[in-house]
Chain A
Amino acid sequence: MIIYLATLLLSLVSIAVTAVLIGVLSLQEAYAHIKAVKRLLIDALIAFIGIDMVLLVRRVSPLDEAATIIAIKLIYSLTLFAAATVGSAATVIYRKPKSYTLKDIYADAVKFFPFASFLTILLIFFISDWIVPLNVELRSCPTSYTDLYVPIFESQHLIIFSVSFIAFLVYPTAVFLLASYAVENVAVSRDLRMFAIGVIGVAVSSYLEAFFLVRCFAEAVDIIRIPCFIAMTYVFRRTTALQSFREIELREYMAHLRRRLKPDFNRVLLDAVDEGLLALGKELHQAVYQHLEVRKGVKREELPDRLDDFSRALEEIFGWTAHALEEVILKRLYARLGLEFKEGEDLSFKDYVDIARKALHKR
Chain B
Amino acid sequence: MVSKSYSIVAVSAGLTALYMIKLAGLTALPSEVVSAVAYITILSITIASFHQALKVSGWGFGDPLKRAFSIAVIGFTLWFVAKFAAAIYSLTTGVEPPYPSQIDIVWSLGLVFLILGLWSYTGKFMKLWRETSDPLKHLIPLVSLAMFFAVTAASLVAVNPFRPLSVNPLEAAMDFTYTVLDSILLSLAFLNLVFFQRGILGRMWGLISGGVALGMLLDLLSLQGFIEDWYYFGHPVEILAIWGFTLVALGANLYAKTFRPLK
Please list the residues of chain A having a beta carbon within 8 angstroms of any beta carbon in chain B.
153-155, 157-158, 161-162, 169, 174, 177, 181, 186, 189-190, 193, 197, 200-201, 204, 207-208, 210-212, 214-215, 217, 220-221, 223-224, 279-284, 287, 290-291, 293-294, 315-325, 327-328, 331, 343
Given A197-B119, A204-B112, CB of A181 within 8 Å of CB of B196: no
State which residues 132-189 of B face A: CB under 8 Å: 132-134, 141, 145, 162, 165-166, 169-170, 172-174, 176-177, 180-181, 184
Closest 9 CB pairs of A and B: A319-B198, A319-B199, A319-B202, A283-B65, A281-B63, A281-B64, A327-B132, A318-B199, A211-B173
Please give the distance in Å from A320's CB to the nearest CB on chain B.
6
Interface: B17 (CB within 8 A): no
The distance in angstroms between the C-alpha atoms of A320 and B197, with both chains bound, is 8
Contacts of B169 in A (CB 8 A): 153-155, 157-158
The distance in angstroms between the C-alpha atoms of A79 and B239, with both chains bound, is 40
Central interface residue in A154, A223, A315, A328, by most chain B CB within 10 Å = A328
Which among A155, A207, A283 is the interface contact of B177 at CB below 8 angstroms?
A: A207
Given A162-B173, A283-B58, A316-B199, CB of A294 within 8 Å of CB of B262: yes
Segment from B19-27, B33-41, B102-110, B217-225 that makes contact with A: B102-110
The distance in angstroms between the C-alpha atoms of A321 and B125, with both chains bound, is 8
Contacts of B184 in A (CB 8 A): 200
The distance in angstroms between the C-alpha atoms of A174 and B145, with both chains bound, is 9
Which among A177, A204, A217, A322 is the interface contact of B199 at CB below 8 angstroms?
A: A322
Which residue of A has the minimal Cβ distance to B196? A319
Given A197-B119, A204-B108, A322-B199, CB of A281 within 8 Å of CB of B124: yes
Interface: B14 (CB within 8 A): no
Please give the distance in Å from A231's CB to the nearest CB on chain B.
9
Given A197-B119, A283-B65, A324-B129, CB of A315 within 8 Å of CB of B199: yes
Contacts of B133 in A (CB 8 A): 327, 343
The distance in angstroms between the C-alpha atoms of A197 and B131, with both chains bound, is 22
Contacts of A211 in B (CB 8 A): 100, 170, 173-174, 177
Please list the residues of chain B having a beta carbon within 8 angstroms of any beta carbon in chain A.
57-58, 63-66, 100-102, 105, 108-109, 112, 115-116, 119, 123-125, 127-134, 141, 145, 162, 165-166, 169-170, 172-174, 176-177, 180-181, 184, 195-202, 258-259, 261-262
Contact A197 B108 (CB under 8 A): no
The distance in angstroms between the C-alpha atoms of A204 and B115, with both chains bound, is 13
The distance in angstroms between the C-alpha atoms of A282 and B57, with both chains bound, is 10
**Can you list 13 A-B pairs with a CB-CB distance of less than 8 A?**
A153-B173, A158-B169, A200-B112, A207-B177, A217-B102, A291-B258, A293-B262, A315-B199, A319-B199, A320-B199, A323-B132, A324-B129, A328-B132
Contact B202 A321 (CB under 8 A): yes
- Specify the main secondary structure of chain B where it touches its partner: helix
Please give the distance in Å from B150's CB to the nearest CB on chain A.
15
Please give the distance in Å from B34's CB to the nearest CB on chain A.
29
Contact B124 A280 (CB under 8 A): yes
Please give the distance in Å from B134's CB to the nearest CB on chain A.
7
Which residue of B has the minimal Cβ distance to A320? B198
The distance in angstroms between the C-alpha atoms of A317 and B255, with both chains bound, is 11
Contact A208 B105 (CB under 8 A): yes
Contact B124 A290 (CB under 8 A): no
- Specify the main secondary structure of chain A where it touches its partner: helix
Given A155-B166, A220-B102, A327-B132, CB of A282 within 8 Å of CB of B63: yes
Contacts of B129 in A (CB 8 A): 321, 324
The distance in angstroms between the C-alpha atoms of A210 and B100, with both chains bound, is 13
The distance in angstroms between the C-alpha atoms of A50 and B251, with both chains bound, is 45
Please give the distance in Å from A169's CB to the nearest CB on chain B.
8
Given A154-B169, A215-B101, A217-B102, CB of A181 within 8 Å of CB of B130: yes
Contact B64 A317 (CB under 8 A): no
Contacts of A317 in B (CB 8 A): 199-201
Please give the distance in Å from B254's CB to the nearest CB on chain A.
12
Please give the distance in Å from B179's CB to the nearest CB on chain A.
11
Contacts of A224 in B (CB 8 A): 105, 109, 112
> What 5 new A-B contacts, CB under 8 Å, besides A211-B170, A327-B133?
A161-B173, A201-B112, A212-B100, A321-B196, A324-B134
Contact A290 B202 (CB under 8 A): no
Contact A319 B197 (CB under 8 A): yes
Please give the distance in Å from A333's CB to the nearest CB on chain B.
13
Contact A280 B64 (CB under 8 A): yes
Contact A279 B131 (CB under 8 A): yes
Given A155-B169, A282-B63, A284-B65, CB of A208 within 8 Å of CB of B177: yes
Contact B66 A283 (CB under 8 A): yes
Given A280-B128, A281-B66, CB of A158 within 8 Å of CB of B173: yes
The distance in angstroms between the C-alpha atoms of A327 and B181, with both chains bound, is 35
The distance in angstroms between the C-alpha atoms of A14 and B174, with both chains bound, is 24
Contacts of A320 in B (CB 8 A): 197-199, 202
